[in-house]
Chain A
Amino acid sequence: MTTKGRRVSRREQHRIGGTGASVTVRNTLIAYAFMLPFLILLVVYHTWPVIFGSYLAFTKYNIISPPQWVGLDNFRELFADEQFWSGLRNSLKYVLVVPVIQVISILVALLVNRPLRGIGFFRTAYYVPVVTSFAVVGLIWSWLYKQGGAVNSVLMGLGLMRGDHSLLDNPATALFAVMFVTLWKGIGYYMVLYLAGLQGISRELEEAATIDGATRSQVFWNITLPGLRPTILVCSLLSTISAIKVFEELYVMTPNGYPAGSTYSALMYSFSKAFGGDFNFGLAAAASMVVAVVSILFGLINFRLTKGGRSDA
């Protein structure tokens, strides 16, 4: 339809005057004029960081003097730094959030997909954490995690915790405490995506299976879940990449790797090298590059695991 439309419109352009060539040149100029402001900012703030960032990883640079090529020195320094390894390990640990958040989000989506009275309220309520800033929810949760705070009361009430110590003050639990906040904030987001996925699955198919005597769990495993596969691919990809790039929640809740440097992530390491006082932009860029490579690898693994999101698999 579009192709046909275009052909007609070109004929019309001939009719209103102008030769074919001049119309095309003029059209091209107009088209680029429309896109120019967008493209300039895109190149400056999106393309340039990818190019210049990759270059910086092989230089010594502190903004004041021009970058100096140092080859692989930054990477050598990086891999010799225990702090970086600990950050990278934490970023990989953070990927544990992915399966948990996806399973819970699918279950929640199934729950709020039921035609119950007042279900709109629950959908809205679950989405509220998504629209609030990590600056705010990070602060709120660090209050809730305080000694004698709400989280500890609940955990001790359930008998899951002895001794009233803040989870954020303990190097063994701090990272997991922040992970829980990531989970809490992300469920609503993925729930909405899974809801959209569920709405794309044919009702008739599920009903037909039920009439033919399939049980609820059979319908779920054989129709609903395969139908959700494309959504699962997209969601787990998004959530894996953001897990490896985890930064904001740690920045707010456990600044500077608190406690005892136990909560550095790979990206936070990069951040601290650039903005932590020594302006080592080369090393920071090298660390960012490692994070980028790791997130691409994990993206590919993810793609394989979900069989490319094909719903017929």
Chain B
Amino acid sequence: MPDTTLPQTALVSDPHAQLAAQLKVQRQRRERLRNAAAYAVLILIALIMLYPFYWTLVTSLEPTGNIYEAKILPTALSLRNYLEVFSGTTVPFWRLILNSVIICVLGVTFTTTLATLAAYPLARMRFPGRDLIFYSILILMVLPNEAGLIVNYITTIKLGLLAQTSPLADAARQYLAVVLPGAASIVGLFLLRQAYLGIPQELIEAARIDGARELTIWRRIMLPLATPTIAAFAILEFVAYWNSFLWARVMLPDKNMLPLSAGLLELSGTFSTNSRAVMAGAVITIIPILIVFLMGQKYFMKGLEGAVKG
């Protein structure tokens, strides 16, 4: 807001102008006060939200000292806990990282491929049963699935995904066993369908007139134009797969196959481990998520809103 540029003489001579100027100063002061209060609350909440992470980072960097007390700065700095967690004998940390990376790559590939494919006919093709399928999926989304963990465990065993033949085949099957239950994402289907519906019909028609097959239309028109949505969805799925721990921990017979977040629980459960090493592990588990989140923040919020609206 630019300052009032009334000449001093006018201010002095005109009581109305004087009053107006006074009111304005008052209003500005009130606004400044209100903003200061807002910032105070904002900072307080930010502290509550971020301090737990900061505390974990600081404690993981300390070699010794009073481990659980509240702290602002580390008493001493050392990477000992990080070395310890990587050289871990109870839980192979490098292997956990590899597992998480493989699970995320597989998971993101599966979910995005399946959803981008399945959403296409639902959005842009005409065939018998389309509405039936669409509404069945919609109903499935609201049906309670509390028995999912139990039945999916039984299914995984019956499908032979936990069978043991050779180490390499076992590993491949167990990665699949972790990834498959979440591979058909209903939220993703709706997000993609919504994105496809927004693509101009003329483009599709022109392609069809030119004799393009549906797969070509999907690959050359739909996918490029839906890229922002696909990116948003891929980020959501990356985070979901990176963070999920329960399913893997319940179902996998082999601890060497666990993803990082599940392995961390395993690590904290063993009495011999130094808690600071677990904290180092927690910091390492969070870092990739933070990077992905900060880079794709815009997509992230968009995907989330779309997911709820869809």
Contacts and interface: CB of A to CB of B under 8 A. Distances in A.
Interface residues of A, number: 98
Interface stretch (B42-50, B164-172, B226-234): B42-50
A147 interface: yes
Contacts, number: 267
Nearest to B181: A45
A42 to B, nearest CB: 4
Contact of A48 (B122, B137, B155): B155
A41 B183 contact: yes
A34 B128 contact: no
Contacts of B128: 28
Interface string A138-181: 01110110111110011000000000000000000000000000
Given A34-B118, A133-B242, A139-B265, A144 B55 contact: yes
B52 A295 contact: no
B158 to A, nearest CB: 9
Interface string B143-176: 1111111111111010000000000000000000
Contact residue range for chain B? 35 or more
A275 interface: yes
For the residues of A in contact with B, the DSSP-based class is: helix
B297 interface: yes
Contact of A5 (B70, B152, B205): B205
Given A131-B293, A139-B268, A248-B246, A111 B286 contact: no
Interface of A: 1-2, 5-6, 8-10, 12-13, 15-16, 24, 27-28, 30-32, 34-35, 37-39, 41-42, 44-50, 52-54, 56-57, 63, 108, 111-112, 114, 116, 119, 121-122, 124-129, 131-137, 139-141, 143-144, 146-150, 153-154, 184, 187-189, 192-193, 196, 234, 238, 245, 247-248, 251-252, 267, 270-271, 274-275, 281, 284-285, 288-289, 291-292, 295-296
Given A45-B148, A131-B289, 12 more contacts: A8-B205, A12-B205, A13-B208, A15-B209, A34-B125, A42-B186, A116-B42, A119-B42, A140-B52, A140-B53, A148-B68, A292-B146
